[in-house]
Amino acid sequence: MKICCIGAGYVGGPTMAMIAHKCPDIQVFVVDINQVRIDAWNSDGLPVYEPGLQEIVEENRGKNLHFTTDVDAHIRDADIIFMSVNTPTKQYGVGKGRAADLKFIELCARRIAEVAEGHKIVVEKSTLPVRTAETVKRILANTPHGATFDVLSNPEFLAEGTAMSDLENPDRVLIGGESAEAIETLVNVYARWVSREKILTTNLWSSELSKLAANAFLAQRISSINAISALCEATQADVDEVAHAIGTDSRIGPKFLKASVGFGGSCFQKDILNLVYLCEHYGLQDVANYWEQVILMNDHQKVRFARNMVRTMFNTVSGKRIAIWGFAFKKDTNDTRESAAIYICRDLLDEHAHLAIYDPKVSERQIKADLRAAFSRDGVLSDRHAKLIEENVLICASPLEAAQDAHGVAVMTEWDEFKTIAPEALFQAVFKPAFLFDGRNILDHAAYLKQGFEVYAIGKGLLEG
């Protein structure tokens, strides 16, 4: 059997690496139009950082795992074709800022229709609006070589940072489709390492919608606890204590109840916006409003954090150096898409702060590109903002270097290494009064207070020693 996966991104790369690893008899080809990305997959510096990924790629690459830009040849050869291309929020025209931009998925489907021969199973791996398979099927119906297709939906539930263990031990695999034979073929691939009870099969539309609904529910929990965090700060309740108290209720459960500076990542916001757009499309305005509130709450949390920083530092951060610890949207990934750090840095730069940023896995090029994008309006960056990024942003090689002579230190990402910094060392590095803003509640606040810091923690407010 041969598998072709179109899209060598955060999903295509790790997912196919796991399939190749678990199924040595299947040849897996990951194809992409982006030559730089493919070259990186074939090098020692993989384009995606995930614990455990490098080892699995190195073990299988060149044997039954291949990365190439030869899209057409591998579409032609494959029995199963996964579409794992990006489906970002549309930035133009009808549905701008809400609908999913399906141009990449459409291009993919058209390419498959154009070059395929014989019978293929086409699998939607990308997250798509419910009923996209209808469009895919219509495009595939127009094929010059008489090819025939079964379309399946097989959304991916991996979380970045834990992708490899999620793929190895998924809570479930979801496969939606119409042809029992095609479903069984794909079930048989996953069944090599996932127990059959965990492989759920549904109709196409349930599968497509379940992915959007799962992300909406996950994000909703974060916005819910973040909403409570604001109330905690106003009332001297402690959000970690509240989260623990409510999480022990088995109906609620303890996971995803960690208050933070706000959720990020490429999926939650875009998938909820997509859900909101779909609800509006079907005339369900109240349902749309309900889900949109999850995003508005998340935006509020980011703005609130930046405002609190400014207010705490005597209502001005102009000309002050602020250490930003972490830029990735969560630990153990190099992905910065929609990271809360981007928007907090933007707001602080707008207040003319000088930012000294450290992240163990994110490059200077990526950080500056994200900041430029955050300040751009319709793709245009003003000279003033370009200058601000050029002159007021310094990328540092360690947390303590970033903190040197800083007026404040802000934790944006929950990287484990931040917990290993000695409060004394940090206290010596920074200006006094020493301000610490913990946007992830990961540090030992009591130790920092004892050292003489003024500590602001999410859902706890300004702490007193």
How far apart are alpha carbons 275 and 265 in whole angstroms?
17
Residue 207 touches ligand NAD, criterion: CB under 6 A:
no
* Least distance between ligand NAD and beta carbon 256 (Å): 15
- The catalytic residue among 4, 5, 267, 279 is 267
Length of the chain: 465
Q: Which is nearer to ligand NAD, 107 or 449 (CB)?
A: 107
Token couple for 279? 């609800």
Per-residue binder mask for ligand NAD (CB under 6 A), 249-288, x = binder: -----------------xx---------------------
Strand order in the sheet with 354-358: 393-395, 354-358, 321-325, 408-411, 435-438, 454-457, 461-462
DSSP state of 178: S
Residue 334 touches ligand NAD, criterion: CB under 6 A:
no
* Least distance between ligand NAD and beta carbon 112 (Å): 10
409-448 as b/e: b if 16+ CB within 10 A: bbbbbbbeebeebebeebbebbeeebbbbbbbbbbebeeb
Q: Which is nearer to ligand NAD, 273 or 388 (CB)?
A: 273
Q: Which is nearer to ligand NAD, 167 or 367 (CB)?
A: 167
* Least distance between ligand NAD and beta carbon 361 (Å): 15
Residue 223 touches ligand NAD, criterion: CB under 6 A:
no
Strands 65-68 and 148-153, bridge-based pairing: unpaired
H or E element that contains 449: helix 445-451
How far apart are alpha carbons 15 and 18 in whole angstroms?
5
Contact region for ligand NAD (CB under 6 A) — 16-24, 82-90, 368-376, 417-425? 82-90
* Least distance between ligand NAD and beta carbon 157 (Å): 7
Strand order in the sheet with 27-31: 65-68, 27-31, 2-6, 80-83, 119-124, 148-153, 173-177, 199-202
Is position 4 annotated as part of the catalytic site? no
Distance of CA 397 to the CA centre of its chain: 24
Contact region for ligand NAD (CB under 6 A) — 84-92, 178-186, 274-282, 437-445? 84-92
Per-residue binder mask for ligand NAD (CB under 6 A), 13-42, x = binder: -------------------xxx--x-----
Contact region for ligand NAD (CB under 6 A) — 81-89, 314-322, 387-395, 455-463? 81-89
CA torsion, ordered 15, 21, 24, 27, to nearest 10 deg = 30
Q: Where do the DSSP E strands lie in 333-429?
A: 354-358, 393-395, 408-411
Residue 9 touches ligand NAD, criterion: CB under 6 A:
yes
What phi and psi, each to the nearest 5 degrees, are found at residue 386? -60, -40
User: Can you tell me which of 3, 85, 400, 412 binds ligand NAD, judged by CB under 6 A?
Assistant: 85
Residues of this chain that interact with ligand NAD (CB under 6 A) are 6-12, 32-34, 37, 71, 84-87, 104, 107-108, 126-127, 156, 158, 160, 266-267
Q: Which residues are catalytic?
A: 267
